[in-house]
Structure 1
Amino acid sequence: MPTPGFPPHTLDDEGSPIWLDELAAEDPNHTLHVVRGLDPAAALEVLGAKPQWFQACELPDARPDEWTSLPGAALGAEPGSSATLLAGRVGEWTFVYDDFGATDHDSTEALSADGRAAATSMFSINADASLTYAVDGKQLAWINVDDLDLAEDLPGMPAELRAAFTAAGVVEFDYLEPGDPDYAIAMRAACALAGLACTLDDLRRIPLLVTPLG
C-alpha cells in the first residue's frame, strides 16, 4: 500500500482515511471540506449552517445502526432526515465533514475567499469520487477520479495539491491496473492537504462542533 503520507493504522482496508470510515454510515454518501485559515464556526456558516444550532460535540463510542453516522448519532438525528455537519481544527486547517453529501464543490470557492486555500472531496454511494481545489476564491482544479491519470495529471496540478496527491499515493487492487488511482484517493488527498493523517481517537482530543445543515 504505497501511501507515503499516511502512517500505519490511519487507513482502512479500502484505502480510506480511518477516521472518515469510522465517522461514516456503513454505505457512505459524504463530503469532506478542508480550509486553511478559517475557524470551524465560520466554515460551517459558509456552508449554510445556522450558528444558533451549533453545539459542542462528544462523539459516541459507536454508531447505533448502519444508517447513522457518528456525528448524526451525537446530534440525535433520524437517519436520512438531513445532513449533519461535524467541524474541527487541526493546526492551520479546519475540516467540515458532511455525512449526507448535501454540500458540494459549489462551496469550495467561498471557503477559499480572502486569500485562503480550500478543497472539497466527495464520495457517493455509487462510488463517484471527485475533488475540487480553490485558492483566494478561484477554483484551480477539479478532479474526477474516474478520469484521473496520475502520470499525466500530477505535473499540471498546483504545487500544494500535487504534494497532497503524492502523499495520498495509490492503493492497489486486483480490479485496477498497477498505478491506477483507487476510489479513495481524493479523500486521502484532501486529508493529506490538511494534515489529517490521523485516527478518530486523535480527533476526539480536539474541540468539535456539530450541527444540522437544515
Structure 2
Amino acid sequence: MPTPGFPPDTLTSEGLPAWIDDLACGDPNHILHVARGIEPAKALEALGAEPELIRSVELPDSKPDEWSSLPGAALGVEPGTSAVLLAGRVGEWTFVYDDAGETYDDEATSALSRDGRTAATSVYTINGDASFTYAVDSRLVASIDVENLLLEEDLPGMPAELRAAFEAAGIADWEDLEPGEVDSLIGMRTACALAGLTLTLSDIRRVPLLAVPVPLD
C-alpha cells in the first residue's frame, strides 16, 4: 500500500512529511497537533502557552547544529533548555508543531476540539513509539497506539474523515514490515493528510507563523 495522498517531494525516504523533517532536530521527540476552525494563537493558548510570550517569526535558512530545531533556532533557544511550539494556518486547519513533545497530554486533542471543532494529535519519539488521537467537540473519538494498529480491522470503524486520512497516508516502504503491519510514521502522515498539510518547507515559509517557548518539565 503506497502513500497516495502525498505528492512527490513531500515525504522523506522514511515516510516522514518533509516539512516536519526539515523543522525537527536530530533524533526528535516531537508532536504535531492539527485543529480545524481555530486561529494559531488560540491553539497555542489551548496547549498551555503563555499569551504574552507568543511572537511572529520567520524560520531561518538553516539550523545552527543537529540538536536544534528550526523553530528553536528562530527563537534563539539553546537545545535542551526549552521546547518551542510553532503554529500556522493553512486553509481551515491550524497546525502546532511541538519540537520536544512537551504538549503530550491526553487532554490536548480534546482542548483543541472544543466548541464543535475537530482536532488530531500525532506523537512520535526517538524510540519509534507513536500514537494518534482524534477528537470532535471535546470528545475523544479515537486513541490509537500505532504499534497495535491493524488497518484492515480498524479502518471500517473510524469516522469517514479519519478513515480517508489514514487511506491517504498509506504505508511507507519499509523493508522489515510484516504483512498488514504499518510503519510508525503513519500517524504523522495521517495528521497531515487530515489537515491538508501535504506540503514542503517552502510552502510553510509562506504562511504567517507564530512561535512560543514552553518550559521543559
Indicate the TM-score class for this superposition, using the shorter chain for normalisation.
Answer: over 0.9
Deviations along 1:2-53, whole A, 9 cap, x unmatched?
1111000000010000000000001010011000000000000000101111
Give the equivalent residue in structure 2 for 1:181: 182
Give the equivalent residue in structure 1 for 2:16: 16
Does structure 1 retain, via aligned residues, the 8 Å contact 2:14–2:173? no
CA distance in 2, matches of 1:28, 1:179: 27
Deviations along 1:80-134, whole A, 9 cap, x unmatched?
1111000000000000000000002421101101100000000011110110000
Partner-residue secondary structure (3-state), 1:196: coil
- Map residues 57-96 of structure 1 onto 2, 5 A cutoff: 57-96=57-96
| Deviation of the 1:183 alpha carbon | 1.1
| Deviation of the 1:178 alpha carbon | 3.7
Whichever residue aligns with residue 178 of structure 2, its letter is E
Give the equivalent residue in structure 1 for 2:155: 154
Partner-residue secondary structure (3-state), 1:110: helix
Q: Is 1:127–2:95 an aligned residue pair?
A: no
Whichever residue aligns with residue 10 of structure 1, its letter is T
CA RMSD in angstroms, aligned pairs only: 0.9
CA distance in 2, matches of 1:145, 1:175: 16
Partner-residue secondary structure (3-state), 2:71: helix
| Deviation of the 1:136 alpha carbon | 0.3
Does structure 2 retain, via aligned residues, the 8 Å contact 1:170–1:179? no
CA distance in 1, matches of 2:74, 2:116: 33
CA distance in 2, matches of 1:161, 1:8: 23
| Deviation of the 1:172 alpha carbon | 2.4
CA distance in 2, matches of 1:53, 1:207: 17
Identity %: 65
| Deviation of the 1:179 alpha carbon | 4.1
CA distance in 2, matches of 1:157, 1:136: 16
TM normalised by structure 2 equals: 0.96
Q: Is 1:116–2:117 an aligned residue pair?
A: yes
CA distance in 1, matches of 2:89, 2:214: 19
Which runs of no fewer than 5 residues in structure 1 stay unpaired?
A: none
CA distance in 2, matches of 1:5, 1:174: 21
Paired residues, number:
214
Which runs of no fewer than 5 residues in structure 2 stay unpaired?
A: none
Give the equivalent residue in structure 2 for 1:99: 99
Q: Is 1:165–2:158 an aligned residue pair?
A: no
CA distance in 1, matches of 2:6, 2:19: 12
Q: Is 1:30–2:30 an aligned residue pair?
A: yes
Whichever residue aligns with residue 165 of structure 1, its letter is F
CA distance in 1, matches of 2:179, 2:7: 22
Partner-residue secondary structure (3-state), 1:186: helix
